[in-house]
Chain A
Amino acid sequence: MAATAGTAEVAPHVEARGVSLRAGLAAVAFLLVSLAIGLAVGPVHIGIGAIIRSALSYVPFLHVDQRLGAVDHAVLWQLRAPRVALAALVGGMLAVAGASYQGVFRNPLCDPYLLGVAGGAGLGATLAIIYASAAATGSTWTVPLAAFAGAIVAVVVTYALGRSVGATQMTGALILAGVTMATFTAAVQTFVQQQHTQQLQNVYSWLLGGFSTATWHDVVICAPYIAVSSLVLVLHRRVLDVLSLGDDEAASLGIDVGRARLVIVVAATLGTAAAVSVSGLIAFVGIIVPHTIRLLFSMSYRAVVPLSLIAGAGFLVLADVVARTVLSPAELPIGVVTAFLGAPFFALVLRTSRTAR
């Protein structure tokens, strides 16, 4: 599998190819298997046969009776299924946003949190948890909305800062502005949190992120953003390939570089903000998934963007399975899982793709 990985790695001019049939099938199979495992595995044991029967009972005209008790039914469809769905949405979004940022900024270390999304969302959520919770008692909207707004504000400020240096050094300036924004929001967030240590636990568990309390409501509020954002990014996969040649080359090929960059950044940011607002800050997915795709299949964004979307969804679903089973019935923060499993896996892929060359 890894034998093909080295071909395009050193060449700056990437051979632009779409998704090969083999790669596409592998990614889709990975996602389907992950979703199945996600539904079937958890602290509560529910037989696979019963799950399939229960799922089929929702298909009209099939007339399959389900045999699940009320508790197992609630566990499966009200607790586990939304968790799997949300992890898939968030994982796909973070991976596709990471791949897009890496393309737009031509920097392999870019992740979806690059332009201050994480810091802004963290600050927004912290402020909401501490100041707004009393006013909006029990509202499930307050914290996600505040996180979303915080993320958007942070990125807009970052973008304005980055633009101010002029178009020639814009990518570098944007990255620096993002670092500045992240540091600044972290400072304010820590200060606010320090002043309200009673809420420390709440803020902390939001920042750690995860899907332990995912509901269909979360899925519904973030799905439209993630769907639109991923669609825009996937449609821009060819533009990303051209942008990867450099701004001048892209412009000479007839691309409005400034506009293309803005559209991609806006789409990636909106989707990431929506993902973060329902899941908290989950690290590493946006870096490891696109790079693994590059090492295994292709360097071309025409393949990396759609494959990252699919594989990212599968990866985070599996990570969440580990998070809820390894210490069962206790939960492990999912960020620990993504980094702890992701890092060695990434090292392995890196190593095998080198030796295969």
Chain B
Amino acid sequence: MTEDLFAVGAGKQVVAVDNQSNYPARAPHTTLSGYTPNIEAIANYHPDLVLISYNPGHFATQLAALGIKVVNIAAANNLKQAYEEILRIGRLTGHDRGAKAVVHSMRRHLAAIVASVPKTRRHLRVYHELDPTYYTATSNTFIGSVYKLFGFRDIADAAGGTGDGYPQLSGEYIVAKNPQIIVLADTRCCQQTYATVAARPGWSTISAVQNHRVVLANDDVASRWGPRIVQFARTVARTAKQG
């Protein structure tokens, strides 16, 4: 959300961001907790508007009781929702045009990136890794919608029946499914690299490992619905084309 605020041009209006917001660097970082928000501490910054993405207890009601406008912008589950929420952030902060430009640019760049991938590489089986215990994302998540744009087939979809789209897969299923492209969104949290993945027992038989189609993504970028998803898509496209 912080990233979206700065992207639409509302950066100067931002008086405080929580301790989970680490991008962009020029954002006014604070120690305000993103998980256990403290209402008094937030009120101390005298905001006109508080954007939240989750609402523990009576958080929003209590803020509203202090006369502060609160808008809950839930995490986007696909690109379409992400565009809508960026536009909404633009409207709320008086940067309608900035927001429209951001969305337009995202759409245009993503389309060009997808078009740059040859048709033969549009149906790769993808495995998106969230941590080294094989938590992953299905097509029904934001990141899954980006893979859908490429035409990739997400190997996690067979496990998508229950839960919120982030199942933990069995290692043997991943090896047997033989993904053709692997995206590591655990390079920072857990120091995963091409070498650590290739060294896992049985993984040397996987097509993505044999053909070096392993994307080293920035964990944060791959888990947020901000404009930086364009850079992410570019890296994925580059890897999909090689080998």
A residues near B (Cβ < 8 Å) are 42-44, 70-72, 74-75, 78-80, 82, 133-134, 137-138, 194, 197-199, 201-202, 205, 210, 212-213, 215-216, 324, 327-331
A75 and B134 contacting across the interface, CB-CB below 8 Å: no
A137 and B202 contacting across the interface, CB-CB below 8 Å: no
State which of B62-70, B79-87, B193-201 sits at the interface with chain A: B193-201
B193 and A329 contacting across the interface, CB-CB below 8 Å: no
In this assembly, does B105 line the interface, its C-beta being within 8 Å of a C-beta of chain A? no
Given A138-B196, A198-B189, CB of A216 within 8 Å of CB of B201 = yes
Can you report 21 A-B residue pairs in the complex whose CB atoms are below 8 A from each other? Answer: A42-B172, A43-B170, A43-B172, A44-B173, A44-B175, A71-B175, A74-B175, A78-B202, A80-B172, A134-B191, A137-B191, A138-B195, A198-B189, A201-B135, A201-B189, A212-B133, A213-B132, A213-B133, A216-B201, A327-B161, A331-B169
Interface string of B28-43 (1 = CB under 8 A from A): 0000001110000000
12 extra interface residue pairs, beta carbon distance < 8 Å, beyond A80-B172, A138-B192, A202-B131: A43-B176, A72-B176, A74-B201, A74-B205, A78-B201, A79-B172, A199-B189, A201-B135, A212-B168, A213-B133, A324-B172, A327-B161
Taking CB atoms, residues of chain A closer than 8 Å to B162 are 327, 330
Cα–Cα distance between A213 and B200 once the two chains are bound (Å): 9
The 9 closest A-B CB pairs, nearest first, are: A74-B202, A330-B159, A329-B173, A78-B201, A330-B167, A43-B173, A78-B202, A44-B176, A331-B168
Of the candidates B35, B131, B132, B178, the one whose C-beta lies within 8 Å of that of A194 is B35
Cα–Cα distance between A185 and B158 once the two chains are bound (Å): 39
A194 and B36 contacting across the interface, CB-CB below 8 Å: yes
Q: How far is the CB of A199 from chain B (nearest CB, A)?
A: 6
A327 and B159 contacting across the interface, CB-CB below 8 Å: yes
A212 and B196 contacting across the interface, CB-CB below 8 Å: no
B191 and A329 contacting across the interface, CB-CB below 8 Å: no
Closest-by-CB residue of B relative to A74 is B202
Cα–Cα distance between A60 and B168 once the two chains are bound (Å): 38
Cα–Cα distance between A202 and B167 once the two chains are bound (Å): 14
B175 and A213 contacting across the interface, CB-CB below 8 Å: no
Taking CB atoms, residues of chain B closer than 8 Å to A213 are 132-134, 171
A330 and B178 contacting across the interface, CB-CB below 8 Å: no
Cα–Cα distance between A329 and B167 once the two chains are bound (Å): 9
Closest-by-CB residue of A relative to B168 is A331
Given A201-B135, A327-B167, A329-B159, CB of A133 within 8 Å of CB of B190 = yes
Taking CB atoms, residues of chain A closer than 8 Å to B190 are 133, 202
**Which of A42, A134, A330, A331 lies at the interface centre, i.e. has the most chain B CB atoms within 10 A of its CB?**
A330
Cα–Cα distance between A134 and B192 once the two chains are bound (Å): 11
Of the candidates B35, B159, B200, the one whose C-beta lies within 8 Å of that of A197 is B35
B131 and A331 contacting across the interface, CB-CB below 8 Å: no
Taking CB atoms, residues of chain B closer than 8 Å to A74 are 175, 201-202, 204-205
Taking CB atoms, residues of chain B closer than 8 Å to A133 are 190-191
Cα–Cα distance between A137 and B190 once the two chains are bound (Å): 8
Taking CB atoms, residues of chain A closer than 8 Å to B173 are 43-44, 328-329
In this assembly, does B183 line the interface, its C-beta being within 8 Å of a C-beta of chain A? no
Taking CB atoms, residues of chain A closer than 8 Å to B170 are 42-43, 212, 324, 328-331
B201 and A205 contacting across the interface, CB-CB below 8 Å: no
Cα–Cα distance between A274 and B158 once the two chains are bound (Å): 35
Taking CB atoms, residues of chain B closer than 8 Å to A330 are 159, 162-163, 167-170
Of the candidates A79, A201, A205, A216, the one whose C-beta lies within 8 Å of that of B171 is A79
Cα–Cα distance between A324 and B131 once the two chains are bound (Å): 18
Taking CB atoms, residues of chain B closer than 8 Å to A199 are 189
In this assembly, does B211 line the interface, its C-beta being within 8 Å of a C-beta of chain A? no
Closest-by-CB residue of B relative to A81 is B201
Cα–Cα distance between A235 and B163 once the two chains are bound (Å): 47
Cα–Cα distance between A329 and B173 once the two chains are bound (Å): 6
Taking CB atoms, residues of chain A closer than 8 Å to B178 are 71
In this assembly, does B53 line the interface, its C-beta being within 8 Å of a C-beta of chain A? no
Q: How far is the CB of B224 from chain A (nearest CB, A)?
A: 13
Of the candidates B193, B201, B204, the one whose C-beta lies within 8 Å of that of A82 is B201
A329 and B205 contacting across the interface, CB-CB below 8 Å: no
Q: How far is the CB of A249 from chain B (nearest CB, A)?
A: 49
A329 and B131 contacting across the interface, CB-CB below 8 Å: no
In this assembly, does B72 line the interface, its C-beta being within 8 Å of a C-beta of chain A? no
Taking CB atoms, residues of chain A closer than 8 Å to B131 are 201-202, 205
Taking CB atoms, residues of chain B closer than 8 Å to A78 are 201-202
Closest-by-CB residue of A relative to B22 is A198
Interface string of B175-193 (1 = CB under 8 A from A): 1111000000000011111
Cα–Cα distance between A212 and B201 once the two chains are bound (Å): 12
B172 and A44 contacting across the interface, CB-CB below 8 Å: yes
Of the candidates B130, B158, B204, the one whose C-beta lies within 8 Å of that of A201 is B130
Cα–Cα distance between A212 and B178 once the two chains are bound (Å): 18
Taking CB atoms, residues of chain B closer than 8 Å to A201 are 130-131, 135, 189
Closest-by-CB residue of B relative to A79 is B172
Taking CB atoms, residues of chain A closer than 8 Å to B167 are 327, 330-331
Closest-by-CB residue of B relative to A205 is B133
Cα–Cα distance between A79 and B206 once the two chains are bound (Å): 14
Q: How far is the CB of B216 from chain A (nearest CB, A)?
A: 13
**Which of B36, B192, B202 lies at the interface centre, i.e. has the most chain A CB atoms within 10 A of its CB?**
B202
Q: How far is the CB of B222 from chain A (nearest CB, A)?
A: 13
Closest-by-CB residue of A relative to B192 is A138
A329 and B175 contacting across the interface, CB-CB below 8 Å: no
In this assembly, does B20 line the interface, its C-beta being within 8 Å of a C-beta of chain A? yes
Taking CB atoms, residues of chain B closer than 8 Å to A44 are 172-173, 175-176
